[in-house]
């Protein structure tokens, strides 16, 4: 199985909270549904050890520097290249579905459409498509260009540790994925899902967990789905679903990292080395 993972690790992860027992239809869809008490969404996200690594300001700065270096390399070859903006906290897709409803028309912006490029542009960026490096860890293989501006910049940042960096990112991805999978057998998460499901059922919605409901509304709230989304978020608040879910996911992420001794330490060390080399 081959997957593409970004150089700052595939960040996959987490989500939300909950409060009293008023009916969901009493909540206006145009009003921000805030997190109750003193618990903030950011504090819930920050519980996740892998999110603290891949979603940190340092990781964002590295991605910005990497994109700028690739753009400069392409410019020297006569091509205009706009680097992809790093994923920030506001762009992060939480693993437990919607966390809040605000007065924006949509929940997730459409992916930008990339302009078609000619073969020469692709060769400048990625090099000869037959020249790649492939790293395999834990049943997953990731390939990266061996030539071109992307490879040149990664070599300048990582030196001889490029394959090590790719391998560490694969292991982080696997740790995140397996931690999330372990939630399905967790007693506390089963109880949280049952409480949330009973809450939305009182509003006429049948779903066993937020992921099932999210697949229906697909993160895009139109006029037909807005009340469903409001009910989802309201029930997460009233059952404190996200507090439980984030806590359990953080617990399992830590266990998965502990099963991979040295991955966290080595990943952070290589990230910091790249930041220094990018200056």
Q: How far is CA 69 from CA 76, 127, 149, 263, in A?
A: 11, 16, 9, 27
Tell me: pLDDT of 107 over 80: no
Q: Read off the pLDDT of residues 147-161 as tens digits, 9 standing for 90 and up.
A: 999 999 999 999 999
Which residue's structure tokens are 């506390």? Answer: 188
The percentage of the chain sitting over the pLDDT mark of 90, rounded to a whole number, equals 64
Tell me: pLDDT of 1 over 60: no
DSSP of 46-89, one letter per residue? TT-HHHHHHTSHHHHHHHHHHHHHHHHHHHHTT----PPPPP-G
- The answer to whether the predicted template modeling score (pTM) of the entire model surpasses 0.85 is no
Q: Read off the pLDDT of residues 130-182 as tens digits, 9 standing for 90 and up.
A: 999 999 999 999 999 999 999 999 999 999 999 999 999 999 999 999 999 99
Provide the token pair at 110. Answer: 């459409």
Tell me: pLDDT of 5 over 90: no
The Cα–Cα gap between 179 and 175 comes to: 6
Enumerate residues 6+ apart whose C-beta is below 8 A from 61.
Answer: 275
Mean pLDDT across the chain, nearest whole number?
82
**Which residue(s) pair with 2 in the sheet?**
141
Task: Tell me the HSE value of 196 on the side-chain side, using a 13 A CA sphere.
Answer: 30
Nearest to 92 by CA among 60, 62, 64, 140: 60
Tell me: pLDDT of 25 over 60: no
């Amino acid at each position: 199985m081959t997957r593409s993972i970004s150089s700052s690790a595939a960040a996959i992860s987490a989500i939300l909270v909950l409060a009293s027992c008023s009916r969901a239809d009493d909540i206006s869809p145009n009003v921000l549904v805030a997190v109750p008490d003193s618990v903030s969404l950011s504090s819930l996200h920050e519980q996740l050890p892998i999110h603290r690594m891949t979603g940190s300001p340092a990781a964002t700065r590295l991605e910005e520097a990497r994109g700028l270096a690739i753009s400069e390399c392409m410019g020297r070859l006569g091509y205009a290249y706009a680097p992809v903006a790093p994923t920030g906290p506001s762009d992060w897709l939480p693993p437990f579905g919607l966390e809040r409803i605000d007065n924006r028309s949509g929940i997730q912006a459409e992916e930008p459409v990339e302009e078609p490029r000619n073969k020469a542009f692709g060769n400048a960026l990625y090099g000869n498509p037959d020249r790649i490096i492939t790293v395999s860890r834990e049943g997953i293989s990731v390939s990266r260009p061996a030539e071109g501006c992307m490879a040149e910049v990664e070599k300048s940042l990582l030196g001889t540790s490029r394959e090590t960096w790719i391998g560490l990112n694969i292991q982080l991805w696997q740790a995140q994925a397996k931690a999330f999978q372990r939630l399905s057998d967790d007693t506390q998460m089963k109880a949280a899902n049952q409480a949330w499901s009973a809450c939305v059922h009182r509003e006429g919605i049948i779903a066993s967990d937020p992921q099932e409901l999210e697949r229906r509304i697909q993160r895009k709230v139109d006029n037909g789905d807005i009340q469903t989304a409001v009910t989802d978020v309201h029930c997460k608040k009233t059952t404190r679903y996200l507090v439980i879910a984030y806590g359990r996911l953080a617990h399992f992420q830590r266990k998965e990292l502990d099963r991979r001794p040295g991955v966290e330490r080595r990943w952070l060390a290589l990230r910091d080395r790249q930041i220094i080399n990018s200056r």
